[in-house]
Amino acid sequence: MKQVNHYLHKKVLVLGLAKSGVAAASLLHKLGAFVTVNDYKPLSENMEAQGLLEQGITVICGGHPIELLDEGFELIVKNPGIPYHNPMIEGAAAKGIPVITEVELAYQISEAPFVAITGTNGKTTTTTLVFEMLKEGGKLPLIAGNIGTVAASVAQEATEENTIVIELSSFQLMGIEAFNPRIAIVTNLYDAHLDYHGTRTEYVQAKANITRNQTENEFFIVNADQEQTLAIAENSNAQTIPFSTKRVLENGAYIREGWIYFNAEQVIATKDIMLPGAHNLENILSAIAAAKLSGVENEAIFKVLNSFSGVKHRLQFVCEHKERRFYNDSKATNILATQNAIAAFNEPVILLAGGLDRGNEFDELIPFLKNVKSVITFGQTAEKIERVAEKAGIKTIKRVDNVEKAVPEAYQLSEPGDVILLSPACASWDQYKTFEVRGDIFIQAVHMLK
């Protein structure tokens, strides 16, 4: 960990806890800051806050009193989930108090360079692939961010010999100042999190922050099949490394005659890739580009792609039971992710979908429902998804209370050779704390069938 004196005796407010807030508060305390933690959950129910109190950190729980901002704080480190229209954040802006997220702290103390991945879909798969390729190639990677341990914790242990591979959300990227990865990736950009950002423009600008501080010494890996990602690259000072699933490129990563190439070098045949789904080729191409730029040999890349079958909750194969195959795609929290999941199969599909209602409709699913024989809905969006299924001509549509009840219902409707797919097209927060919880309940329910 770098020796940083910037925070010595500085008054810092950590707003919101969870894992990132706890890590930020502990790190700032270690760096000599005068830390105050403010979390909405009452102290009696807040184990994280109690632990920080035992470290000697000031803790204020049970609400977000706006008068806290009058105590002379020089910096706020906010939980990424707290929106910028929150009264505390708006009040800080009015007072000129800088607001950052925990990933910025991690960058400031890290001795290791970063490979940072963002995008609407494919972040987790791409991050995992990059990590596994670097690991197989002997590059001593560490994984951090939304997919692993909190970055501020990982950065404290990292050395110059390591590389931190980190998945970053738009929420996190809105709170950076100096963060500058050696390699940055934008997998793709579609409408998402507009309830948080308000507009697509703000969402895209947040994603673009991943390359904001890069120089000509760094690399920006970008989807060449999207005009908006290319526009971000045009404003980047980094070396642009494109990837494309649709056309052969002069440089970067692309597919030609059944082979993946990087800078005209043949890397792996697509038939040797284990990961299912055409949409995953975007993730694979960007991961190969990052690995090659990091000095990983083709043999290591081949070994990973020839055995890697996916990450948990992202088109995860759960099991086969009585000739039915079950897949957990709980991380599909938007329509595009569900489109990609359905398109990955040629077999008849029984689709389990529904969740938090963000105000959107689901008609974009209709062209992808041709091989869906039944739909089982749950959650706030059940009625909307049922309307779409009816428009698509699906005869069997059932509504259940939750994912746990959806599994046996799907099994009763299924026949040998069918795929039973949880791909909700919605966030989980109407019924479940996280998409991971939703996916784990699906897996448990599948195993109960046995």
Structural domain of residue 199, as residue ranges?
103-305
- Asked, for residue 310, whether it belongs to a domain, the answer is no
Quick one: 324 and 185 in the same domain? no
Name the domain count of the chain.
3
Same domain, 210 and 325: no
Tell me what percent of the chain is helix, strand and coil, each rounded to the nearest 5: 40, 20, 40
Per-residue pLDDT of the chain (450 residues; tens, 9 = 90+): 998 999 999 999 999 988 899 999 999 999 999 999 999 999 999 999 999 999 999 999 999 999 999 999 999 999 988 888 899 999 999 999 999 999 999 999 999 999 999 998 889 899 999 999 999 999 999 999 877 789 999 999 999 999 999 999 988 999 999 999 999 999 998 755 555 555 778 889 999 999 999 999 999 999 999 999 999 999 999 999 999 999 999 999 999 999 999 999 999 999 999 887 778 999 999 999 999 999 999 999 999 999 998 888 988 889 999 999 999 999 999 998 999 899 989 899 999 999 999 999 999 999 999 999 999 999 999 999 999 999 999 999 999 999 999 999 999 999 999 999 999 999 999 999 999 999 999 999 999 998
Contact 402, 310 (CB under 8 A): no
Same domain, 69 and 145: no
Indicate whether 289 and 341 sit together in one domain.
no
Give residue 145's pLDDT. 84
Residues 330 and 437 placed together within one structural domain of the fold: yes
Predicted confidence at residue 3, as pLDDT, reads 86
Is 338 marked as binding a ligand? no
pLDDT at 429: 95
- Asked whether the beta carbons of 214 and 238 are under 8 A apart, the reply is yes
State the DSSP H helix or E strand holding residue 420, giving kind and residue range, or none if neither.
strand 419-422
Residue 275 and residue 166 in one domain:
yes
Q: Is 119 annotated as a binding residue?
A: yes
Where does a domain end: 279, 305, 331? Answer: 305
In a domain, 156, yes or no: yes
- The answer to whether residue 109 is domain-embedded is yes
Please report, for the domain that includes residue 71, its CATH number. Answer: 3.40.50.720
CA distance linking residue 270 with residue 253, whole number of Å: 13
Domain boundary at 59, 74, 100, which? 100
d(CA 311, CA 213): 30
Q: In terms of domains, do 433 and 412 share one?
A: yes
Residue 375 has, within 13 A of its CA and on its CB side, a CA count of 32
Sequence-separated (6 or more) residues with CB below 8 Å from residue 398: 374, 375, 376, 377, 409, 413
Q: Do 199 and 327 share a domain, yes or no? A: no
Residues 344 and 435 both lie in one domain: yes
Q: Confirm whether 5 is domain-assigned.
A: no
Model-level pTM? 0.81
Same domain, 293 and 333: no
235: domain CATH number is: 3.40.1190.10
Last residue of a domain, one of 37, 71, 100: 100
Pair 137, 272 in one domain: yes
| 405 within domain boundaries | yes
Residue 19 domain flag: yes
Residues 249 and 358 in one domain: no
Is 123 known to sit in a ligand binding site? yes
Q: Is residue 311 part of a domain?
A: no
The reply to whether 6 falls in a domain is no
